[in-house]
Structure 1
């Protein structure tokens, strides 16, 4: 059950991050406290095979 709890937490965090990002499919500069970083949400094929948009959150530190 711990694996499912962890996956649920990751899914919630991803949705929170997506809600904060002003744009999709491009990098946003952020300050994480130790130099310039970038965060973005990129459209990728939906893993469950549906036609709905699916975004993958990527972070460069």
Structure 2
């Protein structure tokens, strides 16, 4: 899976769970800018954060 697909997947899951980028960031203990960067595929994801997100 490439970074753009991962970013779209994160955004899709976040929206399905009615979370804002800020709310998701708080749950993952990262900044809302980081979540936005992930969704735009501007930076690489850290795997443990990805697995943590799937639990929500």
TM-score norm. by structure 2 comes to 0.40
TM-score normalised over the length of structure 1: 0.37
Give the structure with the larger strand fraction. Answer: 1
Greater length-normalized contact order (CA 8 Å, ≥ 6 residues apart): 2
